[in-house]
Structure 1
Amino acid sequence: MPSNTDISKLKELYESLDRLKESGEDVVAEIRKEINNIELQYLKENLFPEMMKTLSRKISWLRCSVDMNLQFNGEKQLDYSFCKSGSTVFIRDKYECNCPNEDILEESEMDSNNLEIITSTSNQTDAHDTPKRSKTYTLRVEFPNGKVFQGNVVSDTYVAVIKEINPEKVDSVGLSHAGVAVVSQTLDSKYAKYQKPIGGGWYVMTNSSTKAKGFDLKTISDELELELKISLVPLNNSEEAIPIMGISESERHRIRVTFLDGRTICPMKVLEALVEVVKYAGVDRVRELGINCCADNLILKNPAPRYKKLCKPVGNGWLCNTCSDTITKFNQITEISQKLNLGIKVELV
Structure 2
Amino acid sequence: MSRLSDLYKAMETLRKEGLSLNEDLEHQVTELEENIIKKEILPTVIETIAPALKQVQRELVLVVEYKPGMPISVALSRKTNITELLDAKVLEMDPQVEHRIGSKRMKPVERKNGKTILRVTFPDGTVVEEKKAKVTFANVICRIGLMRVRSLDITFCGVPIVSNTIDSKYGNAQIAVENGLYVMTHSSTHDKKKQLDRISDELNIGLKVEEI
How does the TM-score come out when normalised to structure 1? 0.30
Q: Which has the larger radius of gyration?
A: 1
| Larger strand fraction of residues | 1
How does the TM-score come out when normalised to structure 2? 0.49
